[in-house]
């Protein structure tokens, strides 16, 4: 009898272990999240770093919840700039099912035929996206994207290293020699040129090559005070007190302030960039419907709330703000006032000529020698060439003398 009981116990345990895991997240009724279970589907998701609730600090593990709910595996990797993501996909360096580029990059990739048109019947939670994050210039018919987050760019500063009266300079504080060697700058062209353009009174969307050249000159002026050009490295540098000032995205600014109470963030009076990051499906995916399921899941109220609470970026989900804590809901960095938003611009899709000019100008900025010794290397090369020619001439003359 004991053997029979033991055998039954083993069989029962095996049955339990073989049962599929089911998610605990609450989702809208009526959507069949189970239809791809046991089909061995893996979705490759490509997102920004530090940009999803991942289970740390008792937060929801969004990827795990999706896998448990659907039986679909997720291979989740990250990028640090739109340009890095674009170059990798353009070159065929990666095969992805869901990507999360920013507004202007969504438009660029759509224009170049790099994105699949979405079937909104598979994304019914699109109904929750607020109107201000729909029908934007980069995707006027909502064919290619569903908003994931939105926000603004500001300046993170260390209150123990920065005189707060200097904040009146606005973006100009990032050029202040008083903080030389303590300033970080964006390591991507669009954000860096946007800030420089604001500094000189131009739009963040250049319309001429001259606009770009003027912004590039301003960035070259800044280079002598810049400690490093960064993206995700900004977290360690600012939280660790290695730098005093850094422009970055508001959601990350809030997170950094929570990690280090010495850090604060402000939005310059000149205005700033208001961005939208959106979920898209690259052209040629073999798992389009499953990818649309993932996008729909990310728009579930409980999931969108978890992401917002964890990464502190503004949610485009209509029901999320009311569910947030008062501290987050009333944080102007997270949900800016109408006055602040009136001073914002959204990055537009630039013509190829302007994009090419910006790429070239950015390379020029990054290679620029702010010490004033940019002439030294070319001069040394000329001297070396002259010496080589003289050496060759001397050998020829000596040979000729020996012959006579």
Over residues 18-38, the pLDDT tens digits come to 444 455 899 999 999 999 999
| Average pLDDT score over residue span 95-113 | 97
pTM of the model: 0.85
Cα–Cα distance measured from residue 237 to residue 230, given in angstroms and rounded to the nearest whole number: 9
State pLDDT tens for residues 245-269. Answer: 999 999 999 999 999 999 999 999 9
Identify the helix (H) or strand (E) that includes residue 344.
strand 344-345
Which pLDDT score is estimated for 370?
A: 78
Measured in degrees and rounded to the nearest 5, phi and psi for residue 149 equal: -150, 170
| Average pLDDT score over residue span 317-331 | 96
Cα–Cα distance measured from residue 140 to residue 150, given in angstroms and rounded to the nearest whole number: 17
Asked if the model's pLDDT at residue 403 lies above 60, the reply is no
Asked if the model's pLDDT at residue 399 lies above 80, the reply is no
State percent of the chain over pLDDT 70. Answer: 86
Please report the sign of the dihedral spanned by the C-alpha atoms of residue 117, residue 123, residue 127, residue 129: negative
- pLDDT confidence band for 309 (50 / 70 / 90): very high
Beta bridge partners of 99: 46, 280
- pLDDT confidence band for 321 (50 / 70 / 90): very high
Instruction: Give residue for tokens 């020699």.
Output: 177
Identify the helix (H) or strand (E) that includes residue 43.
strand 42-48
State the number of CA atoms in the 13 A half-sphere of 216 facing the CB: 20
- pLDDT confidence band for 9 (50 / 70 / 90): very low
State pLDDT tens for residues 364-374. Answer: 999 999 775 44
Closest residue by Cα to residue 223 from 192, 268, 253, 266 = 192
Which pLDDT score is estimated for 143?
A: 98
Which pLDDT score is estimated for 371?
A: 74
The answer to whether 334 and 250 have CB atoms below 8 angstroms apart is yes
User: Which value, to the nearest 10 degrees, does the dihedral of the CA atoms of residues 150, 155, 160, 161 take?
Assistant: 150
Beta bridge partners of 74: 43
Cα–Cα distance measured from residue 29 to residue 185, given in angstroms and rounded to the nearest whole number: 46
Cα–Cα distance measured from residue 16 to residue 19, given in angstroms and rounded to the nearest whole number: 5
State pLDDT tens for residues 356-395. Answer: 999 999 999 999 997 754 454 455 556 566 666 766 556 5
Please report the sign of the dihedral spanned by the C-alpha atoms of residue 266, residue 267, residue 268, residue 272: positive
Instruction: Give residue for tokens 């290619």.
Output: 144
Which pLDDT score is estimated for 398?
A: 52
The answer to whether 257 and 264 have CB atoms below 8 angstroms apart is yes
Closest residue by Cα to residue 31 from 127, 153, 92, 122 = 122
Cα–Cα distance measured from residue 255 to residue 238, given in angstroms and rounded to the nearest whole number: 11
Q: Mean pLDDT across the chain, nearest whole number? A: 90
Identify the helix (H) or strand (E) that includes residue 400.
helix 376-403
State pLDDT tens for residues 38-50. Answer: 999 999 999 999 9
Phi-psi region of 181 (alpha: psi -120 to 50; beta: other; left: phi over 0): left
Asked if the model's pLDDT at residue 208 lies above 50, the reply is yes
Cα–Cα distance measured from residue 243 to residue 250, given in angstroms and rounded to the nearest whole number: 18
297-331: b (≥16 Cβ within 10 Å) or e: bbbbbbbbbbbbbbbbbbbbbeebbebbeeebeeb
Which pLDDT score is estimated for 15?
A: 40
| Average pLDDT score over residue span 110-115 | 98
State percent of the chain over pLDDT 90. Answer: 85
Q: Cα 90 to chain center, whole Å?
A: 17
Q: Does 278 or 23 have the greater pLDDT score?
A: 278
Pairing of strands 73-79, 226-230: unpaired
């Amino acid at each position: 009898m004991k053997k029979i009981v033991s055998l039954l116990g083993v069989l029962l345990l095996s049955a339990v272990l073989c049962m599929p895991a089911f998610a605990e997240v609450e989702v809208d009724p009526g959507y069949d999240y189970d239809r791809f279970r046991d089909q061995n589907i893996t979705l490759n998701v490509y997102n920004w770093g530090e940009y999803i609730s991942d289970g740390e600090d008792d937060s929801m593990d969004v990827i795990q919840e999706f896998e448990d709910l659907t039986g679909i595996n997720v291979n989740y990797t990250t990028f640090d700039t739109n340009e890095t993501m674009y170059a990798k996909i353009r070159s065929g360096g990666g095969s992805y099912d869901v990507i999360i580029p920013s507004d202007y990059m969504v438009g660029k990739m759509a224009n170049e035929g790099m994105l699949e048109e979405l079937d909104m019947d598979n994304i019914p939670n699109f109904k929750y996206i607020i109107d201000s994050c729909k029908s934007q210039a980069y995707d006027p018919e909502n064919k290619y994207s569903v908003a994931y987050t939105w926000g603004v760019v500001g300046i993170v500063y260390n209150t123990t290293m920065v005189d707060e009266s200097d904040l009146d300079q606005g973006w100009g504080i990032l050029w202040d020699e008083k903080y030389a060697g303590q300033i970080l700058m964006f390591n991507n062209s669009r954000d860096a040129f946007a800030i420089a353009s604001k500094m000189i009174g131009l739009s963040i969307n250049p319309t001429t090559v001259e606009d770009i050249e003027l912004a590039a000159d301003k960035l070259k002026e800044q280079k002598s005070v810049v400690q490093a050009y960064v993206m995700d490295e900004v977290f360690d540098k600012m939280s660790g007190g290695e730098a005093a000032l850094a422009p970055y995205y508001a959601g990350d600014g809030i997170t950094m302030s929570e990690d280090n109470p010495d850090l604060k963030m402000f939005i310059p009076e000149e205005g700033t960039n208001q961005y939208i990051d959106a979920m898209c499906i690259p052209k040629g995916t073999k798992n389009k419907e499953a990818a649309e399921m993932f996008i729909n899941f990310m728009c579930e109220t409980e999931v969108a709330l978890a992401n917002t609470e964890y990464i502190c970026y503004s949610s485009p989900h209509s029901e999320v703000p009311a569910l947030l804590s008062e501290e987050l809901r009333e944080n102007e960095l997270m949900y800016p006032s109408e006055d602040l938003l009136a001073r914002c611009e959204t990055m537009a899709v630039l013509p190829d000529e302007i994009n090419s000019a910006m790429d070239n100008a950015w390379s020029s900025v990054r290679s620029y020698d702010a010490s004033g010794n940019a002439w030294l290397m070319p001069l040394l090369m000329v001297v070396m060439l002259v010496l080589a020619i003289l050496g060759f001439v001397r050998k020829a003359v000596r040979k000729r003398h020996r012959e006579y």
